[in-house]
A and B are shown apart, each in its own frame.
Chain A
């Protein structure tokens, strides 16, 4: 990947962040912090890693992405629109009466693999999906994104045991490790620590990356599978609310909607970041 392409993806992340804030503002609801946190992960997945497109979405051999942290649905909707799964204008209906674009992923929206939203569900489904590939000798890969607070749900650990037992090296679990959950720092809520050791003990091949670095993400995904016969786990250290100074690392921005003033400052900050990338303003 050339430096220019990395910069292009970085510019895309900024556009995605602007769009996320815009649709949350328009809908007057949404999960702001967690969506901004996961932008770079979904950016790299959908633009560089996943073998899936609107044309191949029904293909049995497509790569699957299952978003277990369903509340961060805005980032998924924005990225899928950008990838051409539907019109960008559809995003204006977010959370409106009779819209399919509801506050958690649903298969009524083109490109969404599974209905998620209750936590601790994506990984077991991903394990079943990856196991089916092994049974059928298919080469598709399965990716699932989990929140760090979500790891408190025991079903994740049940599924992890199965992932290792069935040697699902076609499965990649990504933890959006932003260290916050709705009531505060994850460490103070449950004292969840030593995630690398825990996942390693459960049989994963674990890699740690800066989950808000396009370059790091591109690099880590290029090494899949990390070890033959082991499920892959990427501990992606992220910043909740990434990209907007006053949203970053703020617990109360879990599902806070920006005021008019906050929104315009956020747009200014993101535009400035884009200029700093040395690119002219483009339309996304």
Chain B
């Protein structure tokens, strides 16, 4: 995999390019222009940046008012604060009131690593999935980030976009079709399929390469849209492959894993299944990579999970 930039940087560059030619685009920040890599945006387009101070409820409410008045609003704040401090505003002022704000949760998941639980967002999928009328997109690489930001401008529903800040490898060709709600199949594997989201997709791709060395055919789906979930892609994978593994930078409660599991059960599709994510415990201390590895979200960890899941399945 070719090394790329942090999705955060691609987000800021893409948005600035769009905003240069579309004056209706506004960015609203809560003292987060630095952490959002938006200093160049602020310098180039000062009239299109609204600063509300360290006040995430205010950020979401003001964004809703701007959107209701015809502005194309990107509300940008660390995911941990945006989706917890501002949750009631997201629920009422954005989703329920159908104000088409694009909420951007930066430095998401455990991107802040050793800064600890106050700065982690491992709850946001669960919290937002249960709210009617807001879509959730989590880009895996620079390509998906650029595409989702471009698509977001005219997306007909409130939207939550979430990504981290470390450099991500390129996963897609530039001509890959991208559509919110349509998963991208990176590879097909007859034995096991990883359905991964966000920054865990790259880990799953590497795991599939390790598994190939052991003659285990593993496929990878980038499920960049959590809601609306691409049910067809899940069910197709479940028919094509012998086992499914979901991978996410989120609690195992209420995220991709439980949503996929519930879809499979509802469709009466039964196969070996494992949801890899964060267990319900005090999160271990360390860098994002160390924390990932601790919870098995690593090439080795995911390959091992696949092997365990397939024990007795491949020989049967």
Contact = CB atoms under 8 A, between A and B. Distances in A.
29 contacts: A107-B97, A107-B98, A114-B97, A115-B93, A115-B96, A116-B92, A117-B92, A118-B88, A120-B57, A121-B89, A121-B93, A123-B61, A124-B58, A124-B60, A125-B61, A128-B62, A128-B63, A128-B65, A128-B69, A129-B68, A132-B65, A132-B69, A135-B47, A136-B69, A154-B57, A155-B61, A158-B57, A161-B58, A162-B55
Interface of A: 60, 107, 113-118, 120-121, 123-133, 135-136, 154-155, 158-159, 161-162, 165
B98 A158 contact: no
A105 B295 CA distance: 46
Contacts of B67: 128
Given A125-B61, A159-B61, A132 B66 contact: yes
Most chain B CB within 10 A, of A124, A129, A154, is at: A124
Interface string B74-97: 000000000000001100110011
A151 to B, nearest CB: 15
Nearest to B86: A155
Contact of A128 (B47, B61, B98): B61
B92 A118 contact: yes
Contacts of B63: 128
Contacts of B92: 115-118, 121
B272 interface: no
Contacts, number: 97
B71 A132 contact: yes
B50 interface: yes
Interface in B27-85: 47, 50, 52-53, 55, 57-58, 60-71
Contacts of A118: 88, 92
Contacts of B69: 60, 128-129, 132-133, 136
B70 A124 contact: no
Contact of A158 (B53, B68, B71, B93): B53
Contact of A129 (B58, B65, B96): B65
Interface string B9-29: 000000000000000001000
B62 A60 contact: no
Contacts of B96: 115
A155 B58 contact: yes
Given A115-B92, A124-B89, A135-B47, A161 B61 contact: no
Given A124-B61, A128-B61, A158 B70 contact: no
Contacts of A120: 57
Contacts of B53: 158, 161-162, 165
A268 to B, nearest CB: 40
Closest A-B pairs by Cβ, 7 of them: A128-B65, A124-B61, A132-B69, A158-B58, A158-B55, A128-B62, A129-B65
Contacts of A116: 92
A124 B62 CA distance: 5
A120 B62 CA distance: 12
